[in-house]
Amino acid sequence: MTNRTKIFFVDDDRVVRTCLRHFLKKFEDFEIVGEAEDGSSAIASMLSLKPALALVDIGLPHLNGIEVTRKIKASLPDCKILMLTSSDDARDIFASLDAGADGYVLKGDLAANLEIAIRSVRVGAVWLDPGIARIVLDSSAQRQAQGNVSLSGMLSTDEAELLGKVAGADCQDGVCLVDPAFLKRLRRLSTSTELA
């Protein structure tokens, strides 16, 4: 048997948690070690269970998913975190990346993207929903039009091309993997230029 990935998930919607449970059980190499419905209990459980990967919603009671991500990354830096959310707000995207998220998956694309997102971050890649990359590019273009700092002007040609690919232009089946070093640079740029 292959090495199983220990997965924890937190979402305040019981139906979403039930769907996640059924979805993840289909894969022999995924092991559900726990779940929570709010940010505070998620942190306590994850610190005890030490999952390899966590699926974290942003809109959680008691402590939002971005703060959960920040706290878990500080205590369990090897835990991979995928934001699993309905939010496509640029502020949430950049705040999640800044908090240390390893990927960002929109709930509307779960059936198509969740398995590949988990497998990607599990091996050290970064995964962004293709629609998220489009939002990053659009946010940059809007700021440039307003005379503010442009993300595209701060990226190398290769980095801008990669971000364009992640936006869906050249992705195979809508899936693109992102170099972790590029995501780290994007996190630094998002923090220093207030792109949201």
Identify the CATH number of the domain in which residue 55 sits: 3.40.50.2300
Please report whether residue 145 resides in a domain.
Answer: no
Indicate the pTM of the whole model.
0.74
Are 110 and 90 in contact by the 8 Å Cβ rule? The answer is no
pLDDT on residue 195: 44
Please report whether residue 112 resides in a domain.
Answer: yes
pLDDT band at 175, cuts 50/70/90? very low
Tell me the Cα Rg of the chain. 16
pLDDT on residue 94: 85
pLDDT digits (tens, 9 = 90+) for 3-55: 899 999 999 999 999 999 999 999 999 999 999 999 999 999 999 999 999 99
pLDDT band at 85, cuts 50/70/90? very high
> The domain containing residue 81 runs over which residues?
5-132+176-183
In the chain, what is the straight-line distance between the N-terminal and C-terminal CA atoms, in Å?
Answer: 44
* Side chain identity at residue 2, one-letter code: T
Please report whether residue 31 resides in a domain.
Answer: yes
Which spans in 34-109 are helix H? 39-49, 65-75, 90-99
Compute the residue count for the chain.
Answer: 196
pLDDT digits (tens, 9 = 90+) for 149-172: 444 455 556 656 555 555 443 444
| Dihedral sign, Cα of residue 41, residue 42, residue 43, residue 46 | positive
Please report whether residue 22 resides in a domain.
Answer: yes
Please report whether residue 165 resides in a domain.
Answer: no
Q: Percent of the chain having pLDDT more than 70?
A: 68
Please report whether residue 192 resides in a domain.
Answer: no
- Name residue 177's beta-bridge partners: 127
- Name residue 127's beta-bridge partners: 103, 177
Longest dimension (CA), the chain: 56
Report the number of distinct structural domains present in the chain. 1
Please report whether residue 110 resides in a domain.
Answer: yes
